[in-house]
Amino acid sequence: MDGVIKMENDKQKVTRHSRKVGRMGNSLGVSLPKSLAAKLGVSQGDEIEFIENERGEIVMQKVRHHKLPDHVRPEVLEAFFDVFQEDQGILEDLRDR
């Protein structure tokens, strides 16, 4: 089905797009309607990510690649985040004192 349904209720306007799931190699794939691709700002070859929110809904957005400053090496930044995650409990305890 390639339809677009626009619905309105008391609080919000909802546009619903419908697509069939197809096979892409060993994976499953869904095409994006042109209007959605334009809203997401994506074109062929771009990367999108899927995020599950607290209500169990899947949110799709374009992956934004941020360029690191020249003086920051990616492996150093990754090590920083690893240490930060490992010590997150300690940092929370310090914050709550």
Owning domain of residue 24: 4-62
Same domain, 48 and 24: yes
The predicted-structure confidence for 12-60, as pLDDT tens digits, reads as follows: 788 888 999 999 999 999 999 999 999 999 999 999 999 999 999 999 9
71 shares its domain with 56: no
pLDDT of residue 15: 85
Rounded to the nearest 10°, the torsion over CA 89, 95, 96, 97 is: 110
**Residue of higher predicted confidence among 48 and 11:** 48
Where does the pLDDT of residue 2 fall: very low under 50, low under 70, confident under 90, or very high at 90 and above?
Answer: low
Q: pLDDT value at position 28?
A: 95
Contacts of 50 (CB under 8 A, 6+ apart): 58, 59, 60
Asked if 48 and 89 sit in the same domain, the reply is: no
Q: Which spans in the chain are helix H?
A: 34-40, 74-86, 88-96
